């Protein structure tokens, strides 16, 4: 597969999304979805190594070069799934594969479970279902989310005097990444502002979700998936310790060395993930 990448924009009616386009025009159609607060460059190391795929790697709404949702709107998982479906409709893809990391993997599972007839392959990196909540905690969860929404109005984004300081902040984020990974994400994520640089991502992305599924509801999406599915678990990532969940999944699985961003942190991790997915997609 050629390492060439094309920058495209997709006007969906309700929002405009930016994306990277990889691979041959006649390749198997795949939509790639990055993780929370990342962007399309999450797949900059991995996508060029995947053979025979036509990959559209999105900047999800509120991330990278994509538009933010309108005032008063939020970033619910169902809305992300709707965006992905609209992308497929615009591209004329009746059936398509999904390649998802973290949040992107969660969106992929929900869409593949909701509309199993539309998804041909499911390739997941260190993510499956969203955090769940017991029914009795639902009211308290909504209260906390509403309070956080009110507080957000008085908050201001961090401004970093230099690009380097912005990159270092991403390296030390809630999920740490390598310098090389942070630099790639910064290419689409940092923007100049008065006094330095700030991350483009919508501040509303940091708000807690007002509702969560319970465990049975979350697993109902997994159970409806009808396509082949392959899960890469990062040995030092977020899923490895959830052995009970992993044992319930009807997916082919492999555990690879590395952290949550193993496909982006270094060339070795990207190559290991690419080898697994090339065998999974089975395109010579």
User: pLDDT by residue (tens digit) across 185-212?
Assistant: 999 999 999 999 999 999 999 999 999 9
pLDDT at 74 over 60: yes
User: pLDDT by residue (tens digit) across 118-160?
Assistant: 999 999 999 999 999 999 999 999 999 999 999 998 888 999 9
For the domain that residue 34 is a member of, what is the CATH number? 3.40.50.1820
* Residue 198 forms part of a structural domain: no
Count up the domains in the chain and report the number.
Answer: 1
User: pLDDT by residue (tens digit) across 34-44?
Assistant: 999 999 999 99
In this prediction, residue 259 carries a pLDDT of: 97
Report the predicted TM-score, pTM, of the whole model to 2 decimal places.
Answer: 0.96
In this prediction, residue 284 carries a pLDDT of: 65
* Residue 275 forms part of a structural domain: yes
In this prediction, residue 54 carries a pLDDT of: 98
- Contact yes or no for 21/44 (Cβ under 8 A): no
Question: How far apart, in whole angstroms, are the C-alpha atoms of residue 282 and residue 162?
Answer: 44
Describe the crossing of helices 77-91 and 103-114 by its angle, rounded to 10 degrees. Answer: 70
Question: How far apart, in whole angstroms, are the C-alpha atoms of residue 128 and residue 244?
Answer: 13
DSSP-based three-state secondary structure for 258: coil
User: pLDDT by residue (tens digit) across 209-231?
Assistant: 999 999 999 999 999 999 999 99
* Residue 242 forms part of a structural domain: yes
* Residue 158 forms part of a structural domain: no
pLDDT at 101 over 70: yes
**Residue numbers of the domain that contains 112:** 5-133+214-281
Residue 1 pLDDT grade (very low, low, confident, very high; cuts 50, 70, 90)? very low
φ, ψ for residue 156 (rounded to 5)? -120, 145
What tokens appear for 181 in the block? Answer: 């990974």
Minimal CA–CA distance to 101: which of 119, 82, 124? 124
Residue 3 pLDDT grade (very low, low, confident, very high; cuts 50, 70, 90)? low
Residues contacting residue 26 through CB under 8 Å, at least 6 positions apart: 54
* Residue 172 forms part of a structural domain: no
* Residue 264 forms part of a structural domain: yes
- Contact yes or no for 265/178 (Cβ under 8 A): yes
pLDDT at 232 over 50: yes
Which residues are marked as active site? 102
* Residue 247 forms part of a structural domain: yes
* Residue 114 forms part of a structural domain: yes
- Contact yes or no for 28/283 (Cβ under 8 A): yes
Whole-number percent of the chain with pLDDT over 70: 99
**In angstroms, what is the C-alpha Rg of the chain?**
18
What is the CA angle 90-31-232, rounded to 5? 165
């Amino acid at each position: 597969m050629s390492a060439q990448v094309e920058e495209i924009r997709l006007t969906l009616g309700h929002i405009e999304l930016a994306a990277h386009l990889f691979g041959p025009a006649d390749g198997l159609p795949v939509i790639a979805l990055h993780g929370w607060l990342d962007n399309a460059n999450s797949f900059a190391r991995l996508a060029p190594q995947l053979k025979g795929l036509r990959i559209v790697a999105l900047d999800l709404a509120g991330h990278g070069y994509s538009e933010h949702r309108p005032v008063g709107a939020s970033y619910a998982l169902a809305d992300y799934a709707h965006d992905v479906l609209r992308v497929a409709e615009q591209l004329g893809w009746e059936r398509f594969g999904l390649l998802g990391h973290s949040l992107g993997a969660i969106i992929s599972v929900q869409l593949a479970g909701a509309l199993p007839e539309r998804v041909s392959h499911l390739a997941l990196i260190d993510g499956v279902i969203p955090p769940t909540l017991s029914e009795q905690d639902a009211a308290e969860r909504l209260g906390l989310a509403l309070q956080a929404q009110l507080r957000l109005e008085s908050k201001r984004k961090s401004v970093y005097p230099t690009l380097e300081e912005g990159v270092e902040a991403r390296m030390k984020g809630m999920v740490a990444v390598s310098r090389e990974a942070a630099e790639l994400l910064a290419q689409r994520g940092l923007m100049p502002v008065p006094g330095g640089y700030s991350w483009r991502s919508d501040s509303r992305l940091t708000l807690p979700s007002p509702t969560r599924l319970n465990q049975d509801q979350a697993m109902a999406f997994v159970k409806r998936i009808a396509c082949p599915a392959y899960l890469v678990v990062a040995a030092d990532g977020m899923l490895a310790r959830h052995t009970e969940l992993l044992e319930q999944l009807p997916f082919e699985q492999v555990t690879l060395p590395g952290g949550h961003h193993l496909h982006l942190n270094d060339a070795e991790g990207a190559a290991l993930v690419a080898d697994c997915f090339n065998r999974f997609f089975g395109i010579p």
